[in-house]
Amino acid sequence: MNIHITNEAVAWYKRELGLKNGDYVRFFARYGGCSTVQSGFSLGISTDEPIDIGTQTMVDGIVFYIEEKDVWFFDNHDLTIDYQETYEEPIFQYNK
């Protein structure tokens, strides 16, 4: 699985989370909510430093990653993160 993130989404994360070069953004499985890949779970984020990276991408000095223990959530889908201007927030797509 791979993580793809647009420059607009990166800019949003940097602005909203006060990120600087060398920081991390973790995507993880969170109990509750809904997603198109796992019923009863949704995607959470944190700025934790990695322990056991399953996959990662670096964009504009920020490492976006998923821990190995959370890879199951994506069910062999790639994660694409874009920015939706209308709602001023990121949107997530899961693509096989």
pLDDT of residue 75: 82
The tokens of 43 are what? 């995607």
pLDDT in tens, 23-75: 999 999 875 566 666 665 678 999 999 999 999 999 999 999 999 999 988 88
Residue 50 belongs to domain with CATH number:
2.60.300.12
Contact by Cβ (8 Å): 62, 9? no
CA dist., res. 32 & res. 12, Å (int): 24
Is the torsion defined by CA of 45, 49, 53, 56 positive or negative? positive
Q: What φ, ψ does residue 26 adopt, rounded to 5°? A: -105, 135
By residue range, what is the domain housing residue 83?
A: 3-95
Q: Is the whole-model pTM more than 0.75? A: yes
Domain count, the chain: 1
The tokens of 19 are what? 């990120």
Q: SS3 letters for 54-67?
A: EEEEEECCEEEEEE
CA dist., res. 83 & res. 11, Å (int): 9
